[in-house]
Chains A and B, each alone.
Chain A
Amino acid sequence: MNDLTITVVFIEDEAPIRRFLRTTLEHAGMQVFEAENGQRGLLAVASRKPDLVILDLGLPDMDGVEVIRQLRDWTALPILVLSARAQEAEKVAALDAGADDYLTKPFGVDECLARIRVLLRRHAGSSAKNEQVFVFGSVQVDLVQRQVSKNSQSIHLTPIEYRLLTTLIRHAGKVMTHRELLREVWGPNHSESSQYLRVYMGHLRQKLEDDPALPRHIQTETGVGYRLAP
């Protein structure tokens, strides 16, 4: 294994899932360190200095959200959370605590690897953000000129819509909770009025999506938030 090998710390108490994911990731050329509870997981992250942490929220010894908080005290490395369906509140709590994305069990190998790739790429890119033009589907966003076009046709966005779009672009591929978006777009004072967010999101979909009711890029994560899928 050379220095470029991606290392992952996987904190999960269920042995079958550990085995399945370990096999998957090692086949994808990553090195995996397993931890079966929160305390060992925190130790593993501190000692192994991994590129990514995959964390199951249901741990025997401590709350998964608490693990995220403790990690976020000292590291910005990407955290991918695993959770069961119908636990939207838990997902939101994890994301608000600093997790980067989540995967709902049961999930497939491809989906998991895609998320990991997005996170690693974003993490690598965030240190050197020099993209001028962001493209998704037929939409082009010129971040320097502050111009948006679709199929080479210029699209007019209101200031808030533009701010919302650039925020989503900044975190492209990552799910943003309502609270995160409100805070970044409106500032901390407007963190409760998520109806505004929904309306502006609707406007963005109307203006940028081919079929606003079946959006391909500006995706709604029901009960959690939004994600810009490039």
Chain B
Amino acid sequence: MSENNRTDSARPDPDALLAELQREEARSSRGKLKIFFGACAGVGKTYAMLAAAQARLREGVEVLVGVVETHGRAETQKMLQGLEVLPARAQEYRGRTLPEFDLDAALLRRPVLVLVDEFAHSNVPGSRHVKRWQDVDELLAAGIDVYTTLNVQHLESLNDIVGQITGIIVRETVPDHMFDAADEVTLVDLPPEELLDRLSQGKVYLGEQAGRAAQHFFRKGNLLALRELALRRTADRVDAQMRAYRADQSIQPVWQARERLLVCVGPGADAEKLIRSAARLAASLHADWLAVYVETPALQRQVKQQRERVIANLRLAQEMGAETSVLAGAELTVTLLAFARSRNVSKLVVGKSLRSGISRLWRQPLSERLAQRAQDVDVYVVAHELAGDEAPPSRRSASSLFFGDEKPSQRWQGYLAAVFACGLTSALAAALLNVFDPANVVIVFLLTVVLVAIRFGRGPGIAASFLSVLAFDLFFVPPQLSLTVNDTQYLFTFVLMLGVALIISQLAARLQFEARIATYRERRTRALYELGRDLAGALTAASVVEIGLRKLEELFAARLLLLLPDAQDKLQAAGELGSFDLGLAQWVFDHAEPAGMGTQTLPAAGALYIPLKAPMRLRGVLALVIDDHALIATPEQQRLLETCASQIALSLERVHYVEVAQDAIVAMESERLRNSVLSAVSHDLRTPLTSLIGMLSLLQSEKLDAGEQRSALGAMNDEILRMNSLVTNLLDMASLQSGVKLKREWQLLEEVIGSAARGCAGQLQQHRLRVELPRDLPMIEYDAVLIERVLVNLLENAAKYTPAGSEIVISARIEGEQVAVSVCDDGPGLPAGAAERLFDKFTRGTTESSTPGVGLGLAICRTIIAAHGGGIHAENRQPHGAAFTFTLPRGTPPALSLDAE
């Protein structure tokens, strides 16, 4: 395709291209999935799969039969010939041993192609994955191709439709995304007549279902409908492929504005149907979809079983591809619409209300309320189907998805308090009756109701309302201590009082609920904020781990462990391993998927393992044991946990890259240093080498007389000594750079001065050296070898930069907690402004001077003195000369008991 063929409008979106490229990459490393798809059992899927496998085998492809159910059919059995069959794994379950597909053996064996029959099969509890399609997913992720078989009734989104048609509900389902993500789907089609034929010949395995139910299933009408479903689903797939192809070829942009669907689910069994409808609608619109549950004060009073059903429904929605949320708000419609607007939802899906007649007048159904308020959102109403076996909920204990269970004792306390408060109010009002008008007594009771409702909620509030009216009647309305009323006017008072009290308690309870929601949200936000803030301050992986664990422990009341990978990507526990399973954590790390409690992988495990995903790579695994499972059951809590995990992962990544950056800076710095060393050294080594070679060739020419020879040899000696001192300095610097390890000992200063002076006696021949030490100079703790280097360097420096005959003085004195040692000369002194720069590496007094030395000497001095905890500086003396002074900490010399004089 040439450039000019394309117009600007047809140019593909770079982001889309990138996404496609990434998909392509993921695809190439993943195994290929081929599904043999049929309308129902008996159409010959397994046979077709085996036939395809045989063909591959003939091509020389390594094929392994992971699991194939031949159901004893001879023709299928025959197709197995020549294929390697993987032995089944024995899985213990409730005292029985059941055969199961051996995933680990298949992964270990690593064939090119594995045949795994019955895609929708549920694994025996205790296996790694709950469903076989997850096994297949892992095989694909490992780069192994898979052939599998599937009936249309096992497709998640079609599950309920098939159920309606055939009357048989299938529990084993495969999520649609697995089907859609398959590389190839081969429809194995058989006309219903032929299938019935095969059935009558006994060629169809009917499974463990009772014969009659199966017979009922295999009616021609059913088979026709199933066949149509299978064909249509396959056609949808082809359609999607066509669109993807068009997107690939950038013939035209794919759908531009994505639709977004929101489905509102309740605790009822009908919610399942609602979710499936929404999923189908979303699929046909190619829309994202969200499933939410809104917790209102009314819904908060649900029993525990219902709460679990809500969670189950949300999980179903999640499995079908929805993003799930639990919202809290006082008013269902307001909360729902606010959320819909915030997420740019274009279509709302709700169930049809079952209310009819008078209750419809009393309270409008949700769909109508929504339709009235939602101007910019389409509202879809899905028909209900009455679930007959639903037991009426018992109102034992209230339960909230946000706050966990309310204890029964708390409820009783509320009611007791209501009774007590009303009694107290009656006594108080009776005492005040001579001051109070009965009308004011009513107000006092109302006040009590408000207080009770705010403190103890709706139930006690209502109880207090009734009790107040009763007490008012008994004690304050004549005739007293009787329920009869003389003045009918009081009857109105009772009704009004009760009405006001009820409304107040309702309002107070709602207020309390909202306050609790707000507190809860605030707590969560604060926890996240604190986690983020604390993690931002962490500079090492260890402190990230420490902060992360502390915060999460507070938040989830859980036992936690972080596992971080080492250089070989093997996880290491950053703490006590305890009951956590390292192997499972490693699996989570390798597959980047959560596992353990509450997930689809090894749900029986005692702990939950969450991968720490960061943008660049996985940073580790968070493992936690939570006592109250409900704490992480809601999508909100799970998301909170995931958010925390990703915050920790981000921090770990940040810390990692800080280290990388620091290494890079160090590398750059040392590179720069090396370059300057190289240029300086090459100059300072070449100069003496040049003169050495020159003088040597002079000597070899034998043209020099004896005196000239002697002077040439003397000059050569000088040059060689100079090179020696340069090499010594370079070696010193190199060893100091690789880390100074001091060998400190308590010793006298004069020892090291003496040996330093002896060490550079040669250079000091032309100078006068004087040492002035106070007699009471204490012992100092220092590394003698290194301090000798410092003194030698300072002395050599003095010798080098002062004319012959100059005096060099070494002196020492106590300055506070330091001992200061100076090397002074009476030479020309330091150039102006050079005092501090002198100690930088490779600085010389005058650049490119004829005086050699790369200026390493003073840098070495500074490094050594700094390692001792002292300082070094240079200054000019009056009238002329330079003084180099270094200090060493005095410390406390050890007490010695010396023999008497």
Contacts and interface: CB of A to CB of B under 8 A. Distances in A.
B197 interface: no
B135 interface: no
Nearest to A211: B771
A219 B752 CA distance: 10
Nearest to B727: A106
Contact of A222 (B731, B752, B771): B752
Highest count of chain A CB atoms <10 Å: which of B724, B728, B896: B896
Interface SS of chain A: mixed
Nearest to B761: A214
A213 B753 contact: yes
A220 B752 contact: yes
Interface string A186-230: 000000001110111110010000011111000111110000000
Contacts of B702: none
Interface in A147-172: 156, 158-160
Interface stretch (B466-474, B572-580, B678-686, B742-750): B742-750
A214 B896 CA distance: 25
A201 B728 CA distance: 29
B894 A214 contact: no
Given A214-B769, A214-B771, A219 B748 contact: no
A219 B900 CA distance: 25
Given A85-B728, A213-B773, A219-B758, A198 B900 contact: no
A198 B898 CA distance: 12
A213 B896 contact: no
Contacts of A219: 754-755, 758
A196 B898 contact: yes
A195 B747 contact: yes
B751 interface: yes
Nearest to A200: B898
Highest count of chain B CB atoms <10 Å: which of A160, A196, A212: A212
B725 to A, nearest CB: 11
A194 B784 CA distance: 13
A213 B747 contact: no
Contacts of A198: 746-748, 751, 779
Interface in B221-247: none
B896 to A, nearest CB: 6
A199 B748 CA distance: 7
A85 B724 CA distance: 11
Nearest to B812: A213
B102 interface: no
A119 to B, nearest CB: 20
Given A86-B735, A202-B751, A205-B750, A222 B784 contact: yes
A90 interface: no
A142 interface: no
A36 interface: no
Interface in B36-81: none
B25 interface: no
A202 B732 CA distance: 29
Nearest to A229: B758
Given A202-B748, A220-B752, A195 B896 contact: yes
Nearest to B894: A195
Contacts of B748: 198-199, 202
Contact of A220 (B728, B755, B779, B898): B755
A84 to B, nearest CB: 9
Interface in B791-840: 810
A49 B596 CA distance: 79
A180 interface: no
Contacts of A215: 754
A201 to B, nearest CB: 7
Given A199-B748, A213-B753, A222-B788, A86 B731 contact: yes
B750 A212 contact: yes
A88 interface: yes
Contacts of B896: 195-196, 199
Given A86-B735, A202-B748, A222-B785, A158 B754 contact: no
Contacts of B810: 213
A50 to B, nearest CB: 30
Given A88-B785, A158-B900, A194 B752 contact: no
B901 A106 contact: no
Given A88-B785, A199-B896, A158 B901 contact: yes
B460 to A, nearest CB: 81
B736 to A, nearest CB: 10
B437 interface: no
A220 B901 contact: no
A195 B785 CA distance: 16
A160 B899 contact: yes
A213 to B, nearest CB: 4
Nearest to B787: A222
B901 A156 contact: yes
A106 B724 contact: yes
Contacts of B429: none
A106 B894 CA distance: 38
B757 interface: yes
B155 to A, nearest CB: 76
A194 B745 contact: yes
Contacts of B732: 86
A105 to B, nearest CB: 10
A211 B754 CA distance: 10
A195 B757 contact: no
Contacts of A88: 785
A208 to B, nearest CB: 13
27 contacts: A86-B731, A86-B732, A86-B785, A88-B785, A106-B724, A158-B900, A158-B901, A160-B899, A194-B745, A195-B747, A196-B896, A198-B746, A199-B748, A202-B750, A213-B750, A213-B771, A213-B773, A214-B754, A214-B757, A214-B758, A214-B771, A219-B755, A219-B758, A220-B751, A220-B754, A222-B755, A223-B788
8 interchain residue pairs of minimum CB distance:
A213-B771, A223-B785, A220-B751, A220-B755, A222-B755, A213-B750, A222-B788, A222-B784
Interface of B: 724, 728, 731-732, 735, 743, 745-748, 750-758, 769, 771, 773, 779, 784-785, 788, 810, 894, 896, 898-901
Given A198-B748, A199-B896, A222-B755, 6 more contacts: A106-B724, A195-B894, A198-B746, A202-B750, A212-B750, A223-B743
